[in-house]
Amino acid sequence: MSTQAVEIPPGAPLTVLSEEEQMFQQSVRDFAIEKIRPLVHQMDHDAAMSKELIHSFFELGIMGIEVPDRWGGAGSTFFNAVLVVEELSHVDASCGVLVDVQNTLVNNAILRWGNDDQKSKYLPLLAKDTVGAYALSEAGSGSDAFALATRAEEKGDHWVLNGRKLWITNAAEAAIFIVFSNANPDAGYKGITAFIIERDFPGFGVGKKEDKTGIRASSTCELIFEDCRIPRENVLGEVGKGYKIAIETLNEGRIGIGAQMIGIARGALEYAIAYSKERRQFGKPISEFQGIQFQIAQAATQLEAARLMVYNAARLKDAGKPFLREAAMAKLFSSEVCERVTSTAVEIFGGNGYTKEYPVEKFWRDSKIGKIYEGTSNMQLATIAKTILTDRL
């Protein structure tokens, strides 16, 4: 594979990044290029994440970005977590989503709703060496997130869970799981309760690993609960308040997925630009043909717009301002842009783009998940429409 990506210096967003943020962004970018890129092809082929690479994520301090330093984390911002996901994803989307789930879903849920004992017990582990997973989806509960069949029953000093979860990211590597179950089905969604479950709890097991089209190195597995015993103190938040935890955590997680999408798109576009300068037709590089130039210009413009939407949503979250609509818009638009840009990159490569010898087909495969997980595009449209119709722009 002769083509080497040409790094695209970020445009306008540099003007909204502080000097410290720019340095942090560059350090993660350098790490991704030097440490992750050599492993990408093999991890995709094997559908497995390098254990050494996961260890390096902890060493770099990017698995506990918002976790306060008293619990071993970086004590940084949500915006920096978004920068990390973007930079990792521009090399490998599987690495991006592993770190994204850890920070924007698992750590965030415990930080916001955990009590002092739970924070003191679990956050140091998640920041130091333990991968986490977030388990909401089930076979009959996808977009209808609250149609949960998993049941929780209180028995003395513990709870008992029975049921199954599907499509759980990080499940193969995780040792700590945020799991949603209905403790009072008669109450509907108001019976949903969140639990912190450890991998070695009796009655808990990780089942089938999915063989996916894209983000193949990211594990996606079934979780099985057969009379799984959970200590009473492992209820996260309040009994019956799990729906609130799920909704609000996913609202933030969607910004992280937006960051993953702009990272994927940027990675594909970088390779396409480099290839357009190498590939010659009719006696000159194809980059000199206006048709190719216009394709690149359109892709770069769309990518810049998506990046600014993601950055804006992250800034609003850090500022403590409403961001629901902006998060939904950022995920919706960035996933659409990602699919278009990666497809354009494949076309610029021509026949080579459709082979695994060159990198852009993987970016294309990785892009599709953006319209599906953490809220489909239709769910984002429903959220956007609802906020517009019940409020003013």
**Residue type at 268?**
A
Q: Does domain 133-240 have CATH number 3.40.50.2300?
A: no
Using alpha carbons, list the distances in angstroms from residue 84 to 88, 105, 221. Answer: 6, 15, 24
Rounded Cα–Cα distance for residues 235 and 117 (Å): 12
**Structure-block tokens of residue 90:** 């521009």
What is the spatial distance between Cα 302 and Cα 319, in angstroms, rounded to a whole number? 26
Query: How high is the pLDDT of residue 144?
Result: 83
**In sequence order, what are the beta bridge partners of 192?**
182
**Per the structure block, which two tokens stand in for 390?**
């019940």
Q: pLDDT of the chain along its 393 residues, tens only?
A: 446 666 655 444 545 788 899 999 999 999 999 999 999 999 999 999 999 999 999 999 999 999 999 999 999 999 999 999 999 999 999 999 999 999 999 999 999 999 999 999 999 999 999 999 999 999 998 788 778 999 999 999 999 999 999 999 999 999 999 999 999 999 999 999 999 999 999 999 999 999 999 999 999 999 999 999 999 999 999 999 999 999 999 999 999 999 999 999 999 999 999 999 999 999 999 999 999 999 999 999 999 999 999 999 999 999 999 999 999 999 999 999 999 999 999 999 999 999 999 999 999 999 999 999 999 999 999 999 999 998 755
CA distance 65 to 75: 6
Q: Is 280 helix (H, G, I), strand (E, B) or coil?
A: strand
CA 239 to chain centre: 27
Q: What is the pLDDT of residues 111-145, one digit of tens each?
A: 999 999 999 999 999 999 999 999 999 999 878 87
Query: Cβ contacts of residue 139 below 8 Å, gap of 6+?
Result: 149, 164, 166
Nearest to 349 by CA among 303, 301, 281, 263: 281
Catalytic residue numbers read 374
Distances (CA, A) of 353 to 37, 271, 292, 342: 18, 10, 15, 10
pLDDT value for 142: 79
Domain boundaries, the chain: 12-130, 133-240, 244-389
**CATH architecture under which domain 12-130 falls:** Orthogonal Bundle (1.10)
Calpha distance 390→393 (Å, rounded) = 10
DSSP 252: H
Cα(357)–Cα(354) distance, integer angstroms:
9
Q: What is the residue-wise DSSP string for 129-174?
A: T--EEEE--BTTBSSSTT----EEEEETTEEEEEEEEEEEETTTT-
Strands 132-135 and 158-169: unpaired
Pairing assessment for the beta strands 204-209 and 220-231 based on DSSP bridges:
antiparallel
Q: How far apart are CA 151 and CA 192, in angstroms?
A: 9
Residue 283 φ then ψ, to 5°: 85, 10
pLDDT of residue 12: 45
Q: What are residue 12's phi and psi, to 5 degrees?
A: -55, -40
Look at residues 143, 167, 230, 226 and name the one whose alpha carbon lies nearest to residue 193. 230
CA distance 19 to 261: 24
Angle between helices 242-278 and 360-367 (to 10 degrees): 160
The predicted structure's pLDDT at residue 11: 46
CATH architecture of 244-389: Up-down Bundle (1.20)
* Listed residue (144, 109, 326) closest to 237, CA to CA: 109
> What's phi and psi for 390, nearest 5 deg?
-105, 0
- The whole-model pTM stands at 0.95
